[in-house]
Structure 1
Amino acid sequence: MGFGGLLTAGGAAAGVLGKDLVMPSTAQAASATGALSLPAGSQVDGLTVPSFAPSGRRPRYRRATWSQQFQKGHGWSIGGSGTASSSPDDTEVFTRGTQSARATTTGAGAQSYIRKSALPAMNLTGKMLRLIFRVENVDHLSKMVFYLGSGGFKDTFSWRFHSHSKTAANYVQSGEWVTVHLQWADVAAASGAYALSSTGKPSVQNGFTDLSFAVYDDGAGKVTYNLQAVEVVPDTTTKFPKGVVSITFDDSHQSIHDLGRPVMDELGMPGTIYNIADAIGTGTFLTIDEMRSLQDSSGWEMAGHSYANSAHTASYAKLTAEQVDEDFRRLREWLVANGFTSEHFAYPHGAFQKTTDGVPVDLLAARHFTTARSIISETIESFAPAMPYRLKALTGINDGSGIGGTTLAKVIGPGGQLDRCAESGDWLILCLHKLTAGPPKTSTEISQAGLGKLLKEIEKRDIEVLTVQEAMTYYA
């Protein structure tokens, strides 16, 4: 059965269980609408009503200053050698108005596009692009690229905003409407008269007349996609002209306190720790007192990563919806009971796909937390986040040699993520794990000296350092 109203536990707001989130239940089928007041511990569709639900400080929706919503008469063309069939007016699949634009690829790996040229010239200074689209089945999806240009695409900037993985968690999943923000920090390439500087800054940000949304399959099968909107929305350069960095740590390692905190305290920079409740006070993990000291004395954020060690090890995508929801509930209760105010979460192993019984993990996260962070870094995160339960973060940052991950030099070097963040005023979320006194041995480690170097480079660029909780208060 499915409930589509406000659920309250003991008279307090306890989240919304959406109409489309139908959970398996052994109880007799039934339905209900409207406000339901339920005692804490009650169950709906096999899930316990949360004792503590998100406060409601969700990201504000940023209204478009220009919008193409692909309603009748939109005038965009669908083509490319990779297009097998199309409909500019698909009235069967849409999320706005009464239709969207649809195309199916050939299965040969060539470009399929939905595009428009000779538009009135656009000035995108202080702006970002918002795309809303859907891929019916991602099994044969390879990549998605957006082209912005002029002169009939003679001069272009391009964003490769999604490369599909066969093994890792993907921002784009089958049958879901997806929202992506394209910022100047994420421009991948330039052609014609357009160029990118050594720090990744585009040579021009106005005079654009050509827009193209392109999809490539993997050459082994067809892909059907729908495009619902291409929009221009304000970015955040007026508030954070040099951008924001959030330094996050997963897994509650003791080294965060012993080696990371002294370096960050010296520069007055706070961090966000995504904690495993089961691990606290054991072995080489933080204690409750250390967590409280970090929060109360240094302004750090104590967020959630999982309640049970076993849930973290397995990852939520390998559990049932009931098991995942119960771990979320116990984690949130544990955080509140111990005096930690964060309503933010990071997925174990970055996995937010569907549970073993078919429920999207990010929908379950929304019952308990205000945001949830992934380890996807195809583009830098934005204000407000395009999808707050799929926050993007760059992980594996280390100063080792030959151990994989993301080299520190790539982050702090010319044209790296810090330069691009500072040039474009965006939100760069960094995901770290364990610190070492000497050289790191795995991609989930960074040395204390390496962290210090990273922080000095952030300071040198005058980039604001905020916890995830602090960053979200500006746009909630």
Structure 2
Amino acid sequence: MGKRRANAHGRAAASDRPVVSRRAALLMGGAGGVAMAGGGAWLGNVAAQSVTGPQAAAEGAIGGLTTPPPYAPSGRRPKNRRATWSQQFQDSHGWKAGGAGTASAEVNDKTQFVRGTQSVRVTTNGTGKQSYVRKTGMAEVNATGKMIRLLFRVDDVSNLAKMVFYLGSGGLTNYFVWNFHVHSKTAANYVQSGEWVTVHLQWADVSGAAGAYSISAAGKPSTTAGFTDMSFAVYDDAGGQVTYRLQAVELIPDTTDVFPKGVVSITFDDSHKSIHDLARPIMDSFGFPGTLYNIADAIGTGSFLTVDQMRSMQNFSGWEMAGHSYANAVHTASYPKLTAEEADEDFRKLREWLVSNGFTSEHFAYPHGAFQKTKDGVPVDLIASRHFTTARTIISETIESFAPAHPYRLKSLTGITDGKGIGGTALSRLTEEGGKLDRCAESGDWLILCLHKIVEGTPKTSTEIGTAGLTKLMQELQDRDIPVVTVEEAMAYYK
């Protein structure tokens, strides 16, 4: 498909293209293929987006790396989930741009698009007020057992504040709302400049309700059908304008299609020995496996796991031994502090170390959740895609879906602790009525939890959870009958 598209636009066939340098190839698309991401092509992180329209997808698929990794990912990425309802913003779509925060708009914009021949373009006015693309009075839409898939682009996120989606009726006098992206000036952001981004919104993530709609104490919406109105809203930070483009609003089967009560993956970072000594026995008693993201350089030193302990957890308790970094120094610095060559080399050595020690996982977690560009401008998540099938972040503005919208930016809830006054994510946020576990069980999602150290007494930092707190978490999962699977097992459903 990619070759036919390239030829149709007058580009040379793949066999006619010159061999590109390692650096240029990284900039042009890394893994040599467009990963199918939860119902649409994964188009994010094409660093050189000088082309527009459907050509952008073809350019994003260019490979040609001169030194292919010895252990490339097997390609067990999410399948394309077909939309049951779709608005792709082609001619006569009938949606309107407006709001007190809008400066200008073109609802039939033919300069930037990745489907069909056009998208909607809107520029905010720099006042911090709402700008939107919306349609009311549509034929009724049934969203039962569905999640909303959004495909959009923000040209420059420097002045982006937040993004919101409304689903309602009665001219939006009744609505549910998802606050799906709040932009950070310091942390890694799911939405980055110049990328076409896919986001999934599930009922487990609904933020609020108004009018005739409500959300129960357990997080269950009062209705999931009869919707006639939709609105995609963007706010700038009142410091400057933001130009955004909307390509698609769709409904696809949600996580409950595979897991009626949702699903949880319990992941641990950094290879701490306490994961083997304290977490494993607790989880063994419930029959729950975990995914452990490892720093190869640390194994067998100080307070870290040994290879034999890792093998025991994998072979006898069903744990997954995944990757976090090869060098401890790289973990401390994080990949955006490296050049593309340095990052790629650490990924290569990490994967080789895992395979040579009998660990077959193709999954990875970014140190500090950082997947931004390297020092020389190459997106780290593109480099990760050369070596691993998924890469986990610590972004949690919405919970991950099944299949994920972006397999190299898996969302997770981190800093879970039963300590007091030490920051992080209070365990009660998961276990209380209407918390993350109730929402997972009631409405479905893929809740990925990120833990670090386990302690026998009272946690002193946000990266610690006590054995009592971990036991309570496991008991709450069991009581709700939520399946617990490793990341590898989750992805296996989409071979």
With normalisation by structure 2, the TM-score equals 0.88
Q: Is 2:199 aligned against 1:180?
A: yes
The secondary structure found in structure 1 opposite 2:255 is coil
Which of 388, 409, 412 is residue 369 of structure 1 equivalent to?
A: 388
Tell me the CA shift for residue 35 of structure 1.
9.8
Superposition RMSD on alpha carbons, in Å? Answer: 1.9
Question: What pairs with 1:143-292 in structure 2 (closer than 5 Å)?
Answer: 143-292=162-311
Q: Is 2:16 aligned against 1:16?
A: no
Could you list the runs of 5+ residues in structure 1 that have no partner in the other structure? 5-13, 23-32, 37-42
Q: C-alpha separation between the residues in 2 aligned to 1:373 and 1:392?
A: 6
Give the conservation status (yes or no) of the 8 Å contact 1:276–1:307.
Answer: yes
Judged with a 3 Å threshold, the aligned counterparts in structure 2 of structure 1 residues 17 and 447 are, in CA distance, closer, same or farther, namely same
Q: C-alpha separation between the residues in 1 aligned to 2:445 and 2:62?
A: 40
Amino acid in the other structure paired with 2:320: E
Give the conservation status (yes or no) of the 8 Å contact 1:3–1:17.
Answer: no
Q: C-alpha separation between the residues in 2 aligned to 1:2 and 1:124?
A: 48
Give the conservation status (yes or no) of the 8 Å contact 2:323–2:364.
Answer: yes
Q: C-alpha separation between the residues in 2 aligned to 1:152 and 1:403?
A: 45
Q: C-alpha separation between the residues in 2 aligned to 1:136 and 1:397?
A: 34
Q: C-alpha separation between the residues in 1 aligned to 2:312 and 2:159?
A: 49
Q: Is 2:341 aligned against 1:322?
A: yes
Tell me the CA shift for residue 76 of structure 1.
0.2
Tell me the CA shift for residue 418 of structure 1.
0.4
The secondary structure found in structure 2 opposite 1:145 is strand
Amino acid in the other structure paired with 1:383: F
Q: C-alpha separation between the residues in 1 aligned to 2:18 and 2:254?
A: 37
* Bigger share in helix: 2
Give the conservation status (yes or no) of the 8 Å contact 1:252–1:274.
Answer: yes
Q: C-alpha separation between the residues in 2 aligned to 1:155 and 1:235?
A: 23
The secondary structure found in structure 1 opposite 2:175 is strand
- 2:407 maps to which residue? 388
- 2:111 maps to which residue? 92
Q: C-alpha separation between the residues in 2 aligned to 1:354 and 1:128?
A: 30
The secondary structure found in structure 1 opposite 2:352 is helix
Give the conservation status (yes or no) of the 8 Å contact 1:128–1:183.
Answer: yes
Q: C-alpha separation between the residues in 2 aligned to 1:35 and 1:84?
A: 39
Which of 55, 61, 72 is residue 80 of structure 2 equivalent to?
A: 61
Q: C-alpha separation between the residues in 1 aligned to 2:63 and 2:453?
A: 45
Q: Is 2:312 aligned against 1:293?
A: yes
Give the conservation status (yes or no) of the 8 Å contact 2:79–2:494.
Answer: yes
Tell me the CA shift for residue 411 of structure 1.
1.1
- 2:482 maps to which residue? 463
Tell me the CA shift for residue 239 of structure 1.
2.4
Q: Is 2:128 aligned against 1:128?
A: no
Amino acid in the other structure paired with 1:347: Y
Q: C-alpha separation between the residues in 2 aligned to 1:67 and 1:34?
A: 28
Q: C-alpha separation between the residues in 2 aligned to 1:219 and 1:64?
A: 36
Tell me the CA shift for residue 141 of structure 1.
0.4
The secondary structure found in structure 1 opposite 2:408 is helix
Amino acid in the other structure paired with 1:300: W
* Bigger share in strand: 1
- 2:321 maps to which residue? 302
Q: Is 2:91 aligned against 1:75?
A: no
Q: C-alpha separation between the residues in 2 aligned to 1:306 and 1:118?
A: 51
Give the conservation status (yes or no) of the 8 Å contact 2:416–2:462.
Answer: yes
Q: C-alpha separation between the residues in 1 aligned to 2:33 and 2:76?
A: 17
- 1:430 maps to which residue? 449
Give the conservation status (yes or no) of the 8 Å contact 2:392–2:412.
Answer: yes
Tell me the CA shift for residue 238 of structure 1.
3.5
Q: C-alpha separation between the residues in 1 aligned to 2:376 and 2:355?
A: 29
- 1:26 maps to which residue? none
- 2:373 maps to which residue? 354
Amino acid in the other structure paired with 1:317: P
- 1:397 maps to which residue? 416
Q: Is 2:155 aligned against 1:139?
A: no
Judged with a 3 Å threshold, the aligned counterparts in structure 2 of structure 1 residues 407 and 2 are, in CA distance, closer, same or farther, namely farther
Give the conservation status (yes or no) of the 8 Å contact 1:383–1:475.
Answer: no
- 1:338 maps to which residue? 357
The secondary structure found in structure 1 opposite 2:368 is helix
Judged with a 3 Å threshold, the aligned counterparts in structure 2 of structure 1 residues 15 and 163 are, in CA distance, closer, same or farther, namely closer
Q: C-alpha separation between the residues in 1 aligned to 2:392 and 2:457?
A: 29
Amino acid in the other structure paired with 1:299: G
With normalisation by structure 1, the TM-score equals 0.92
Give the conservation status (yes or no) of the 8 Å contact 1:123–1:207.
Answer: yes
Q: C-alpha separation between the residues in 2 aligned to 1:274 and 1:253?
A: 10
- 1:419 maps to which residue? 438
- 2:467 maps to which residue? 448
Give the conservation status (yes or no) of the 8 Å contact 2:31–2:63.
Answer: no
Tell me the CA shift for residue 15 of structure 1.
5.0
Q: C-alpha separation between the residues in 1 aligned to 2:420 and 2:476?
A: 20
Tell me the CA shift for residue 475 of structure 1.
2.3
The secondary structure found in structure 2 opposite 1:70 is coil
Deviation by residue 1:307-358 (Cα, 9 ceiling, x = unmatched) = 0011111111111111111111110011110100100000010000111111
Q: C-alpha separation between the residues in 2 aligned to 1:171 and 1:381?
A: 12
Amino acid in the other structure paired with 2:179: R
Tell me the CA shift for residue 193 of structure 1.
0.5
Give the conservation status (yes or no) of the 8 Å contact 1:159–1:188.
Answer: yes
**Structure 1, 297-306 or 310-319: larger mean CA deviation:** 310-319
Amino acid in the other structure paired with 1:327: D
Judged with a 3 Å threshold, the aligned counterparts in structure 2 of structure 1 residues 35 and 261 are, in CA distance, closer, same or farther, namely closer
Q: Is 2:140 aligned against 1:114?
A: no
Give the conservation status (yes or no) of the 8 Å contact 1:343–1:371.
Answer: yes
Same amino acid, percent of matched pairs: 70
Give the conservation status (yes or no) of the 8 Å contact 1:59–1:384.
Answer: yes
Tell me the CA shift for residue 16 of structure 1.
2.2
Tell me the CA shift for residue 3 of structure 1.
5.7
Q: Runs of at least 4 residues of structure 1 off by over 4 A?
A: 1-4, 17-22, 33-36
Amino acid in the other structure paired with 1:394: L
Amino acid in the other structure paired with 2:472: K
